[in-house]
Amino acid sequence: MSDKLFGTDGVRGRANTWPMTADLALRLGAAAGRYFRRDGSTAHRVVIGKDTRLSGYMFENALTAGFTSTGMNVLLLGPVPTPAVGMLTQSMRADVGVMISASHNPHHDNGIKFFGPDGFKLSDEAQAEIERMTHAGVEVAQAQNIGRAKRIDDGRFRYNERLKMSFPEGKRLDGMKVVIDCANGAAYRTAPEVLWELGAEVIAIGVTPDGQNINQNCGSTQPETAAQAVLEHGADVGICLDGDADRVMIIDETGKVADGDQLMALMAARWADQGRLKGGALVATVMSNLGLERYLDARGLRLERTAVGDRYVVERMREGGFNLGGEQSGHIVMTDYATTGDGLLAGLQFLAAMVETGQPASQLVHQFEPVPQLLKNVRFSAGQKPLDAEDVKAAIAQAEASLNGNGRLLIRKSGTEPLIRVMAESEDEATLSAAVESVVQAVEHATA
């Protein structure tokens, strides 16, 4: 059993299996509570939100017990999007925020993400210290100083109002038909409410969570259902969120799906024209398409690349004073409005572009011609280290040589699932396919 708890986005795993057990969640809550206690008083609070997974009840209770045992007062938000937790941590003057979610993963997985008092995700250093304290154990509060817990009933509505305030003043969505896919997740009430209040005709799907259908044949990772709904209803646009609503995919009126790279390209160009793009740059990860980089370069803008993970994107944005960033997977971060990726907020920005330009979604989602890109995943078992195998190293070196400077090869271990991700880009699709397949076969042999 590994002592390592935190990955690229908090602690994540299969529910009731290490590290996602109730016992670990209790100890993690106690450690985080002790870490964020600035003094011995009881005037400290934590906000806790969750998505719609069945195991969320278990982890909500365990974390509450851990935090209150160290004297923290707990404010329970219930099902809300991840960005709502970041926003409410800051606005409610909490010391720490927690989101219980495994994002786009299946229902049997869950995770725990932490936000600091500024509403931003924790640094590696803070996570490492909380991890150390979790393993070492912490001193609990005296009986008279145990914290209290209470439900916050209007957290969702506070977040809804913040979202609507991001929409251009005086603009509405009257006459626009919008399909919204909430992935049976955290935004199943929020997203349809906000769109309706802004004037749209809303076709909502993925809004009947039962604890086990989150991300199941719906949402940003499986947008086919929403694309079909767009065509069936003659909708102007479709917006696909994931289970915790921090990422988005856009579907145009023809049913074509656009990823985060196209949305970031649109926003970067619009913001630059409006004088709003700080630093003349967009921050994205190493996974973003080479076509995006060329598109920005042609407009005198820069692409700043980071490691995969919206937390690393945000860290670079804060370091460089940039205000727009994100990931190809649909995390779009706009620090003028939010402290983390916000799928619905990004969707509203796209709708605003439709309203202001009068152009259909199909024109706005195709900002650049992507360089052919191929991504394949190989699952491995606990304890295996396929990237250390000599045959795998040789296959990677050979694949890189085959691209011969005319493309990119990126091999990495997922920070949220036991997967090796093999991605390459090249104008020559035959070479591209051969390069990826050779590495995949080597990794599969090493994990057999």
Q: Mean pLDDT across the stretch 253-258?
A: 97
pLDDT tens for each residue of 129-183: 999 999 999 999 999 999 999 999 999 999 999 999 999 999 999 999 999 999 9
Question: Is the confidence at residue 39, as pLDDT, over 70?
Answer: no
Q: Mean pLDDT across the stretch 381-396?
A: 91
Instruction: Given the residues 103, 166, 220, 402, select the one marked as catalytic.
Output: 103
CB 235 within 8 A of CB 72: no
Question: Is the confidence at residue 418, as pLDDT, over 90?
Answer: no
Give me the percent of the chain exceeding a pLDDT of 70: 98
SS3 per-residue string spanning 88-121: HHHHCCCCEEEEECCCCCCCCEEEEEEECCCCCE
pLDDT tens for each residue of 349-378: 999 999 999 999 999 999 999 999 999 999
pLDDT of residue 40: 52
pLDDT tens for each residue of 273-305: 999 999 999 999 999 999 999 999 999 999 999
pLDDT of residue 414: 84
Global pTM?
0.90
pLDDT of residue 37: 83
Q: With CA atoms as reference, report the closest residue to 215 among 326, 84, 330, 86.
A: 330
Tokens 């049976």 correspond to: 184
Structural domains of the chain ordered from first start: 6-153 (3.40.120.10), 159-256 (3.40.120.10), 260-364 (3.40.120.10), 373-447 (3.30.310.50)
Q: E strands, 138-280, where?
A: 149-151, 177-181, 201-205, 237-241, 248-251, 257-258
The two three-digit tokens of residue 73, written as one number: 């007062």
Report the alpha-carbon distance of residue 21 to residue 406 in Å, rounded: 46
Question: Is the confidence at residue 41, as pLDDT, over 60?
Answer: no
Question: Is the confidence at residue 38, as pLDDT, over 70?
Answer: no
Split at pLDDT 50, 70, 90, the class of 206 is very high
Q: Mean pLDDT across the stretch 196-220?
A: 98
Give me the percent of the chain exceeding a pLDDT of 90: 91
Q: Catalytic site residue 426?
A: no
